[in-house]
Amino acid sequence: MIIFLVGFMGSGKSTVGQRLAGRLGYSFVDMDARLEGEHGMTINEIFEKLGEKAFREMESNLLKEMVSLQDTVISTGGGLPCTGNNMDLINREGVSIYLRMEPEALLNRLSRGKSRRPLIRHLTRQELSTFIREKLSEREPVYMKAHHIVSGLNFKMDELLEIL
Ligand code: S3P
């Protein structure tokens, strides 16, 4: 089985994914980290040198490779499910979990973690707040297609394990 964690930047996909994989005895793949390793560039550098469109193609291609894995937890980049038919592919090939978080909680997390994220690194707190609200309302209908929806802020591993 493949388990995909989806959700907005800062919702805790990588941390939860790693812990979940540990509990299940599964492998763990962080797609952003994998892309950085494969291309020898940080996500910031990929956006700067090749542009967002190229990044979206890279992550969609990586997703197509990922679906042949077994017993793996995969944390996806926040924009991946929203490109093309990626969310449908995720749902067809694996079990998806949306780590849901309110805009206020995301703002607090992302104000601290924005430097390695090209879409938000240059934004002031006020701009970031607006960005989160707008982007989340655009993306949430896609995230909501996930098989399971759990709280990212009050995340409880045992509850997730029970759902699965
Ligand atoms: C992005 C999210 C990032 C990364 C890139 C773009 C997005 O991943 O893929 O900076 O469009 O939301 P995280 O969700 O792991 O921060």
Judge if the beta carbon of residue 32 lies within 6 A of ligand 1: yes
Judge if the beta carbon of residue 119 lies within 6 A of ligand 1: yes
Question: Would you say the pTM of this structure is higher than 0.85?
Answer: yes
Judge if the beta carbon of residue 77 lies within 6 A of ligand 1: yes
Residue 129: the pLDDT is 98
> In the chain, which residue ranges form alpha helices assigned H by DSSP?
13-24, 31-39, 43-50, 52-66, 86-93, 103-112, 125-143, 157-163
pLDDT tens per residue across span 9-37: 999 999 999 999 999 999 999 999 999 99
Confidence of residue 1 (pLDDT cuts 50, 70, 90): very high
Report the b/e string of 121-143 with b at 16+ CB within 10 A. eebeeeebbebbeebbeebeebb
Judge if the beta carbon of residue 118 lies within 6 A of ligand 1: yes
For the CA of 14, the nearest atom of ligand 1: 15
pLDDT tens per residue across span 69-117: 999 999 999 999 999 999 999 999 999 999 999 999 999 999 999 999 9
For the CA of 135, the nearest atom of ligand 1: 12
Q: Which two tokens stand for residue 67?
A: 């679906």
Residue range 106-133: mean pLDDT, rounded:
97
Average confidence score pLDDT of the chain:
97
